[in-house]
Amino acid sequence: MNEVKNVRDPQRFSLNGRAKSLAFAVEGLVFMFRTQHNAWLHALATLSVIVLGLYLDVSAADWRWLVAAMAMVWGAEALNTAVEYVCDVVAPNFHLAVKRAKDIAAGGVLIAAVAAAIIGTLTFWPYCLA
């Protein structure tokens, strides 16, 4: 029987390996930030939330919600970017299924962004009223 071998055999834990993984992750985030226009909008929104949170002196509990919301949007944008790039490799020419996959991934970012906006509004509203 032909056995398919894993191309990447599990390796032992090493600090050097973890450092390389971290470097790859940072490289991916930098690439996303440089190539995705929506990442710039997310960066502007993130900066705005941080400045407003510092200005309004929000509580630690409220910062937890804000950080979770920002992380949710950035995570969705990163996954969306990854889906787009994989789809472009798999089908460089137009294909309806690829379009659907990209649209769904973009919809995931939209869901995260709307949820983050609601969390931000609910978090900042009491501070603005005070």
The answer to whether the beta carbons of residues 58 and 66 sit under 8 Å apart is yes
Question: Which residue in the list 3, 27, 77, 84 is annotated as catalytic?
Answer: 77
Active site residue 77: yes
User: Cβ neighbours of residue 107 under 8 Å, at least 6 residues apart?
Assistant: none
Q: Which residues are marked as active site?
A: 77
